[in-house]
Chains A and B, each alone.
Chain A
Amino acid sequence: MEKPSRKVDITVALVGNPNVGKSSLFNSLTGLNQSVGNWPGKTVEVAEGTLAYKEIKIKVVDLPGTYSLTSFSEEEVVTRDYILSGEADVIINVIDATALERNLFLTLQLMEMNAPLIIALNMVDEATKKGIEIRVDRLSELLGVPVIPIVATSGFGLTELMEAVLARPTKSRRLTYGREVEAYISQTSRHLQNIEAPYPLDWISIKVLEGDPIITSLFLKDKQISEKIASVMKTMEDLHGEPPSVIISSERYALSHRIAQQVTISHAKPAISFDERIDGLLSHKVVGYLILLMTLSGVFLIIFSAGSYLSAYIDGLFVWMIETIRPHLQVLDPTLSSLLLDGILFGLGAATSIALPYVALFYLLLSILEDTGYLPRAAFLLDSLMHKIGLHGKAFIPMLLGYGCSVPACIGCRIMETKRERLLLGALVVLIPCSARTVVILGVAGSYLGPLVALSIYALDLLIVFSLGRLLFKVLPEEPVGLIMEMPPLRMFRIATVLKKTWVKTKDFVYIALPLIVLGSLVVSLASSLKLVDLIVNGISPITVGLMGLPVATGIAFIFGFLRKELALIMLATYVGTTDFSVFMTPAQMIIFALVMVLYIPCIATLSALIKEYGLKNALAITLMDIAIALFIGSFGIRILMALGL
């Protein structure tokens, strides 16, 4: 492994459509030597990693997956700006050999920008299986760019790819489009020839013709030139009956279609492949929904049963550890012993007993669903349901993420196209019971009142989320953005990839959660020795006791639940001095306690994610809304339950 201090020799950026195995290539190249970060000022995640090949240190930047390089989404702008900045010495365009035509659309745009390009033709094995053979040499000749066939998941072709990187490709050159479009481009370039720009002139012309707002405002300041270009655009539109951007896109696609046809040899295909049949079942009108229901309930069943078993086991391990060490430490210094054991070690135990069983298990199953390509099928089936709350099918994915942890769910809302949709969805996903809240539901309602009650709380929460979505949609009505989503081919997942994904995601959770939990436990053991806790707990008793009819002690759970929700239960147990909640809570109180814990406030990590994604004002609005919902449900719920005689 290389020391990070050493200077980077070559910087390589990976560019490609979503679902072409770009991340697999990134992982194969950099191993675990990577970090995911946000681009400064942008809510787009960019992963960076390094590798050493023949003693040359190569930095690899995994740019967000994109189909095009317009300026309609932040992903596209980030990718475009990075390529234009010239920071990368080499751009590797990862393309899917089974969908050459669609992938070349992006390649052509990269060539318009004269990027120093290498093409990594990925999934050649899958193409062979589908009876598709790509003439690599011919493709390279037509594009004038090196093309390396690879299989990112198995590592095939990576040495050749790295050799091509070391050979440093020269700047690529734009391919010629049809005569008419070329005439429009050169006319525009002539009008623009006097502007000063660090970018290729033809590329600017194309972008101006496409009506790209960023490029237009940068380079089209002269009124006379603007008018001349407007007249070129008008001619295009009058002659073709389409806006210039559509004409240019069609032209690119026509060219990629021609290239794809020239380099593809299709062998006899099986009539309907096995994959197709499975796909047909997965998105079937009836069977599809049954499979969806079974898959989701299967996921939760596994998490609940295996999770609670593992969790109890780990918990027991830590309790045993604490109790074994305690007598030895207590002799030395009772205060220190309490801080170390009840604070730090107890917190560590709490974190691992959540992180490992619930979170890791959730991410393991999620990674499998992700890698097989099942999630888009689920989104397809749930589109009409999501429309009821003013969103489209893709919104299902962050919602599912929410069952693991709210933080990635908030970040996952970026898959929605508009700000409004992202905000709407963000307000909803924080109310989905995450692993930590699942622990609360299971720990209180589940263990004392039975799994059916726990399930009802889950269902009620979903109902609240759905009603809130409906309400927000009514309050902030707007034509929902339609669903446009690629359905990637179904694939068998690889165990190694899935485990690695699980590890990376669980690690992120631990990094966020662990310090907070340990800190929280420390604060509690400190505060309880200073008798501060009673003061606060009694202070908020008008709300806990007066409004929601809960025992005074539950106040502690609500205070510490802000740090971590699962912490709440542990804190409550510590404070009351018993883990048997039935001693001081009636069944009705348990139900309300669990419900309010789920709803009342996003935890501190989620709140910071909300602030980062939506700004302070929106984050506070969401928080206040959640508090209001929790108080409403709490105060009315307890009265209804008591009236029912619980």
Chain B
Amino acid sequence: MLEELLEAFCKLKSKLGTVTREDMKKSGFQEGELDSAITGGYLQEEGGKLKITDRGESLLLNHRERFVHNSIIHQGDESARLDSVDHWISCHKIDRSYIDDFYNRLKAIPCHIEELIPLLELPEGREAEVVFLVGGRGLISRLCSLGITPGTVLKVLRRAPIGGPLELAVRSTKVAIGREVASKILVKPL
């Protein structure tokens, strides 16, 4: 999928600085996939280095927004979903158009959306800054009281196997959080 390729590109870019065709192939992408991303105008190749175009960026933005949107709206059963929706409606003091407003908020957060990944995807040993918490009041409050607030720098110490939780180092303490919780914390890798 094109989005996955672009995601992988961004991850590599933040890791290596510059990304070449070879780097992408090493992460398991085919020559043909790269070509179609370039002909489609999502990636550019300049002097051997790959760059993301505006078009690619907006596709990624959509992808990330869909991710966030999905994690709020399409996860859980009816009541959990309603809870999240209610939460957003009450936060924004508006009806219906809450989603638009939510997207505006996402855009207002102090870094590029494409720099953000859910904490779940942060590799072991990497540090990241918490940027955005997605979820109901109860969850956010529990996270905040353990020191996971926006702006906090944390590190993934280890992950338990088979869908198990993550162990984080945060504010000189250790905290374990489940995967579903980790998918609701958006972080900017440092």
Contact = CB atoms under 8 A, between A and B. Distances in A.
B142 interface: yes
Interface in B166-184: 167, 171-181
A263 B93 CA distance: 42
Contacts of A626: none
A265 to B, nearest CB: 14
A484 B142 contact: yes
Contact of B164 (A105, A241, A253, A384): A384
Contact of B145 (A68, A99, A479): A68
Nearest to B159: A285
A169 interface: no
Interface stretch (A142-150, A243-251, A500-508, A573-581): A243-251
B136 to A, nearest CB: 10
B145 A70 contact: yes
A237 interface: yes
B163 A387 contact: yes
Contacts of B180: 479-480, 482
Contacts of A477: 77
A488 B176 CA distance: 10
A599 B184 CA distance: 40
A487 B176 contact: yes
A392 B147 CA distance: 21
A98 B172 contact: yes
A587 B77 CA distance: 48
**Most chain A beta-carbon contacts within 10 A, residue among B75, B76, B77, B146:** B146
Nearest to A254: B151
Contact of B142 (A72, A101, A285): A72
A68 B138 CA distance: 12
A487 B76 contact: no
A290 to B, nearest CB: 13
Contact of A283 (B79, B92, B167, B178): B167
Interface residues of B, number: 46
B101 to A, nearest CB: 10
Contact of A241 (B80, B105, B137): B105
Nearest to A393: B165
A483 B177 contact: yes
Interface stretch (A44-52, A155-163, A375-383, A449-457): A375-383
B49 interface: no
Contacts of B109: 241
B164 A381 contact: yes
Contacts of B146: 67, 102, 484, 486
Interface string B57-82: 00000000000000000011101100
B142 A486 contact: no
B93 A230 contact: yes
A384 B147 contact: no
B76 to A, nearest CB: 4
A380 B171 contact: no
Interface of B is mostly: mixed
B16 interface: no
Contact of B178 (A211, A249, A484): A484
B172 A484 contact: no
Contact of B144 (A211, A246, A254, A380): A246
B44 interface: no
A384 B176 contact: no
B81 to A, nearest CB: 9
Contact of A380 (B108, B139, B176): B176
A126 interface: no
B133 interface: yes
Contacts of B1: none
Contacts of B138: 72, 417
**Most chain B beta-carbon contacts within 10 A, residue among A70, A245, A477, A482:** A482
Interface in A232-280: 234, 237, 241-243, 245-246, 249-250, 253-254, 257, 280
A211 B133 CA distance: 17
B20 interface: no
Given A482-B181, A487-B176, A249 B149 contact: yes
B108 A241 contact: yes
Contacts of A68: 141, 144-145
Contacts of A234: 93
Interface string A451-492: 000000000000000000000000001111011111111000
A480 B139 CA distance: 12
A480 B137 CA distance: 15
28 contacts: A67-B146, A68-B145, A72-B138, A99-B172, A101-B172, A105-B147, A241-B109, A243-B137, A246-B140, A250-B144, A253-B152, A254-B151, A284-B158, A379-B176, A383-B160, A384-B160, A384-B165, A387-B163, A393-B165, A478-B80, A479-B75, A482-B139, A482-B180, A482-B181, A483-B178, A484-B142, A487-B173, A487-B175
Question: Would you list the 6 A-B pairs with minimal beta carbon distance, nearest first?
Answer: A68-B145, A479-B76, A482-B181, A483-B178, A249-B144, A482-B178
